[in-house]
Amino acid sequence: MSPRNDPDARTWRELRVEVTERLVDVVGDAAPAEARWIVLEASGLDDAEILVEDDEPAPALARHRIEAMVERRRAGEPLQYVLGSWQFRGIDVMVDRRVLIPRPETEVVVQVAIDELVARGARLGRTDPWAAGITEFAVADLGTGSGAIALALAAELPDAAVWATDVSDDALAVARANLSSIGTAATRVRLVRGRWFDALPIELRGGLRLVVSNPPYVTAAEHPALPADVRDHEPYGALVSGDSGLEDLEHLIAHAGEWLEPGGALVLELAPHQAEAAVTRAREVGFVAVDVRPDLTGRPRALVARRP
Ligand SMILES: C[S@@+](CC[C@H](N)C(=O)[O-])C[C@H]1O[C@@H](n2cnc3c(N)ncnc32)[C@H](O)[C@@H]1O
């Protein structure tokens, strides 16, 4: 049936109002913004196109998709899983419940890592398609999840060979699907399965210019008190490290020195209250220029340390 003869037909604008009303008791003030995302996703249009089409009737198929998305959101599923993808440093990253949703603070961690590499002479810029496979230095993103950090590094550092690892086959399947979102730069990303440094080939030992990770850093005891959308939907293994929350951070700090080249940088995301312990540990194992950089809200978030 053509939308014009459909008695249930509503325009994109009307659907946005309807979705806002249906979400307001679940997400409060975020309802108009979420309604906009959901309707836009179902429409298949971009921001500019929907402005032109706003008073046109939406096809029945799009209405059904919107209905399904609203039901999932009303049941508490995170918006990013409902939409199926989320932007990370300008890259469209597919996400579902196999992986952690990439966070804005992790975008800052990537910036810190890039700044460290640029300070040592790395070239910046989107990949030159003619030189896609040519690399000058190696970096590792350990616990890559959706691949967000690794993909951003490969897309923004045209000379980097990026090793992206995870212990979860499910996460690696998502990261693999996301390779296509960075075009030819993906030829410089390798995905490998394994626990932290065990995943890396032995030839890389002592040769990495950067080790970056956003490891699990929540304690087992904190997990039940996390916001329900995080606790009930995001993978436990991506969130929880152990009893202290520092287990994975400590493991990475203890072993990164063996894998970095002299002058190479370690950049780790952490929770603000873990900053002091992580700095102490990094100095104890011989790192220099140890510092913690803030996230967008000004809280300590990224440990930076250099192998002498
Ligand atoms: C906090 S998530 C980070 C995901 C992604 N890097 C990001 O920033 O959005 C932590 C990731 O580490 C992985 N992970 C947990 N334990 C691991 C281990 N022992 N070795 C390797 N990866 C591990 C999880 O599967 C998860 O994908």
Q: What is the CATH number of the domain that holds 157?
A: 3.40.50.150
pLDDT in tens, 260-289: 999 999 999 999 999 999 999 999 999 999
Position 173 in a domain: yes
Do 287 and 160 share a structural domain?
yes
Residue 203 lies in a domain: yes
Task: Give nearest CA residue, ligand 1 atom 13.
Answer: 143
Nearest to 291 by CA among 279, 280, 301: 279
264 lines ligand 1 (CB under 6 A): no
| Residue partners of 70: CB distance under 8 A and separation at least 6 | 19, 22, 23, 38
The response to whether residue 245 sits with its C-beta less than 6 Å from ligand 1 reads: no
What residue owns the CA closest to ligand 1's atom 11? Answer: 143
Amino acid symbol at 235: P
Model confidence at 47, in pLDDT bands (50, 70, 90)? confident
Residues 6 or more apart whose CB falls under 8 angstroms from that of 53 comprise 12, 43, 45
The total number of structural domains that make up the chain: 2
In a domain, 22, yes or no: yes
pLDDT at site 5: 73
Residues 71 and 103 grouped into a single domain: no
Answer whether 78 contacts ligand 1 (Cβ < 6 A). Answer: no
Mutate to test the pocket of ligand 1, among 162, 166, 267 (most ligand atoms within 8 A of CB): 166
CA end-to-end distance (rounded Å), the chain: 70
In a domain, residue 81? The reply is: no
Pairwise CA distance, residues 308 & 291, whole Å: 14
Same domain, 64 and 124: no
Q: Is the CB of 148 under 6 A from ligand 1?
A: yes
Residues 225 and 142 in one domain: yes
pLDDT confidence band for 3 (50 / 70 / 90):
low
Q: Give a yes or no: residue 89 inside a domain.
A: no
Supply the mean pLDDT for the chain: 95
CA atoms within 13 A on the CB side of 62: 21
Structural domain containing residue 243: 97-306
- Residue 197: pLDDT above 70? yes
Does residue 166 sit in helix, strand or coil? Answer: strand
Q: Which amino acid is it at 263?
A: G
Give the whole-angstrom CA distance, residue 169 versus residue 183.
23
User: Where among 75, 108, 134 does a domain terminate?
Assistant: 75
Would 88 be classed as within a structural domain? no
Residue 4 has pLDDT above 70, yes or no: no
169 plus 132 within the same structural domain: yes
Place of tokens 């030829």: 187
pLDDT, tens digit (0-9, with 9 covering 90-100), for 58-73 = 999 999 999 999 999 9
Q: What six digits make up the tokens of 263?
A: 């002058």
Are 20 and 125 within one domain?
Answer: no
Spatial contact of 233 and 76, defined as CB atoms under 8 Å apart: yes
pLDDT score of 2 more than 80? no
Q: Which residues contact 7 (CB under 8 A, 6 or more apart)?
A: none
Question: Rounded to an integer, what distance in angstroms lies between the CA atom of residue 24 and that of residue 57?
Answer: 24
- Residue 163 token pair: 């090793």
Are 11 and 126 in the same domain? no
Mean pLDDT of the region 35-45: 96
In testing the pocket of ligand 1, which one of 144, 211, 226 has its CB within 8 Å of the most ligand atoms? 144
Alpha-carbon span 262 to 259, nearest angstrom? 10
Per-residue pLDDT for 1 more than 80? no
* Number of CB atoms found within 10 A of residue 38's CB: 26
Residue range 36-57: mean pLDDT, rounded: 94
Please check whether residue 164 is in contact with residue 191, taking contact to mean a CB–CB distance below 8 angstroms: yes
What's the rounded mean pLDDT across residues 218-233? Answer: 95
Q: Among 16, 43, 75, where does a domain finish?
A: 75
Would you call 171 helix, strand, or coil by DSSP?
A: helix
Examine residue 86 and state whether it is found in any structural domain, yes or no. no
Helix (H) or strand (E) holding 27: helix 12-27
In order, the DSSP letters of 73-103 are HHTT--HHHHHSEEEETTEEEE--TTSPPPP
Same-domain check for residues 71 and 115: no
Residue 187's pLDDT band (cuts 50, 70, 90)? very high
Residues 250 and 296 placed together within one structural domain of the fold: yes
The verdict on 9 and 70 lying in the same domain is yes
Query: Does residue 131 share a domain with residue 265?
Result: yes
pLDDT at 152 over 60: yes
Going from the Cα of 215 to the center of ligand 1, the distance in angstroms, rounded, reads 5
Query: pLDDT tens digits for 155-175?
Result: 999 999 999 999 999 999 999
Q: Rounded to 5 degrees, what are φ and ψ at 187?
A: -65, -15
**Could you tell me the two tokens for 18?**
């309807």
Last residue in a domain, options 45, 75, 105:
75
Per-residue confidence (pLDDT) for residue 60, from 0 to 100: 95
pLDDT of 106 > 60? The answer is yes
Tokens found for residue 169? 């086959």
More confident of the two residues 305 and 134: 305
Specify whether 128 is located in the same domain as 62: no
Question: In the prediction, which pLDDT does 189 show?
Answer: 97
For the chain, what's the residue count?
308
Q: Is residue 68 part of a domain?
A: yes
